[in-house]
Amino acid sequence: MTHHPLKLRNSATGETTAFIPRDWRLGAEDPRVRMYVCGPTVYDRAHIGNARPAVVFDVLFRLLRLVYGADRVDYVRNFTDVEDKINDRAAQLYPEMPPLEAIAKLTAETTEWYHQDMDALGVLRPTHEPRATGHIPGMVAMIETLVASGHAYEAEGHVLFSVDSYPDYGKLSGRSVEDMIAGARVEVAPYKKNPMDFVLWKPSTPEQPGWDSPWGRGRPGWHIECSAMSKELLGEDFDIHGGGADLMFPHHENEIAQSCCAAPDHGFAEVWLHNGMIRVDGKKMSKSLGNFFTAHDKLAEIPADVIRAILLNAHYRDELDWTEAVVEQARAILNRLNRLADRARRAGISPDADDPDVLEEVIERLSDDLDTYGALRALHRFAGEVLTRPDSDPEALQQVVDTAVFLGFGLSFAEGAGQGDAQDHDAVIAAACAKLDAARAAKDFATADALRALMNQAGLVVQTGKGGTTAERGADFDAAALEALR
């Protein structure tokens, strides 16, 4: 496979340039690609907006592993497991527990939910999944460095970062401090020297989770968490930092300020990538509009592969509008892929995980600033061509399943059912096709229509041509629904 040079658009510069990892440029002995992506704050079910960065950066992770080697990519995605929303929810749910135990109980459950949902969506587990509560000493040490160097100050039990001490503040989002004050919900507090100064450490009441520190018992601010975790797991310089566009300001702006001031000889992240937000039928997703839904809700209604295709069916930097038309587009893509996966299985072809034969045009599109939309279109076109060939050639089938699995699709043939189950299902499907043809031949159209309806309910793509009826597993294939055809 030809490896196209990977180009990425850096949010920090607005330029799209060739991506060459630091270690390769510097000729490191044990070179690694290092990527950090801001993960969820785990106090409830992940909403569909949380699933988009997980899926988008999962594709980048897969691409980097393909290009540089599966064991050469260090991908960190954190869990924010101490934060005021978490503290409040834990106190409500478990009032009898000490605060640290209460947040641990709540976040263990919500983290498990997140893993279940993301696993279902085909998201690979990152190399490291640190939790903020596991890195408090690193945060305290970084804050001490910032205080000692004059970039932070203590006031009324709080430690604040002094924005005036960092001339490049605002560079990532391209805003002046005046613009930021005007456009942001800045927490006004009398002890701040500048309204934009942000909290690195804050005091905790006895009812709130807290840790001992040089400034008394307290807890970290949100921004310092990612800086400390990325430093510990990736070093003070790394290749890529990703997250949703909503995190660019203030979260990522603040991470840069505190990390660069804590280690002035280092540059922190080299390339910044931001995915666009999700809208629903053209409107911002919000609970008040009633168009807010969780990944869990959607997984109960729509096959996981279809949801994954929806999340990839737009350029990652663009807003994604979740509409019924977009759902149907994704379903059409997965119908094609599943039908070909079904043919591949019957031909004894399975995906090659170690050396996948990924479609050249898909790699080309992904190498151009992670154009998942273009990659999906290319695969959809190719699958359409292969479907029209009367005898699908093994090489083309191998390419389709390898490319689909590389993009993170589970495909119905690859799911839990063992080979014996699949062969039993084949026999049921073949018998149903034969019954349908017999009913048509006998002009018993009522029986034929009833059979076709049952086959459609089982998620089969049914086609009747000169040679008779064929049925292949589609995106909505449901093995349990085959029972009605026995």
Detail the residues annotated as belonging to a binding site for Zn(2+).
38, 226, 251, 255
Give the separation between CA 273 and CA 129, rounded to whole angstroms. 19
User: How many Å apart are CA 290 and CA 234, to the nearest integer?
Assistant: 40
268, 256 in Cβ contact below 8 A? yes
Beta strands in 164-229 (DSSP E): 198-203, 218-220
- Name the residue with tokens 């062969």: 423
Tell me the sheet residues that pair with 159. Answer: 154, 201
**By C-alpha distance, which of 160, 124, 143, 125 is closest to 231?**
143
| Nearest residue to 464 (alpha-carbon basis) of 482, 447, 452, 476 | 452
Binding residues for ATP: 287
Sign of the alpha-carbon torsion through 393, 399, 405, 409: negative
Task: Please report which residue ranges of 69-164 form alpha helices under DSSP H.
Answer: 84-93, 99-120, 136-148
**DSSP structural state of residue 188:** -
Beta strands in 196-333 (DSSP E): 198-203, 218-220, 237-244, 268-275, 278-280, 283-284, 320-322
Task: Convert 332-390 into a string of H (helix), E (strand) and C (coil).
Answer: HHHHHHHHHHHHHHHCCCCCCCCCCCCCHHHHHHHHECCCHHHHHHHHHHHHHHHHHCC
Positions at the binding site: 38, 226, 251, 255, 287
Q: Give the long-range contacts of residues 426-433, CB within 8 A, separation 24 or more.
A: 426/346, 428/482, 428/485, 428/486, 429/455, 429/460, 429/471, 429/482, 429/485, 431/485, 432/471, 432/485, 433/462, 433/468, 433/469, 433/470, 433/471
- Max distance between CA atoms of the chain, in angstroms, equals 90
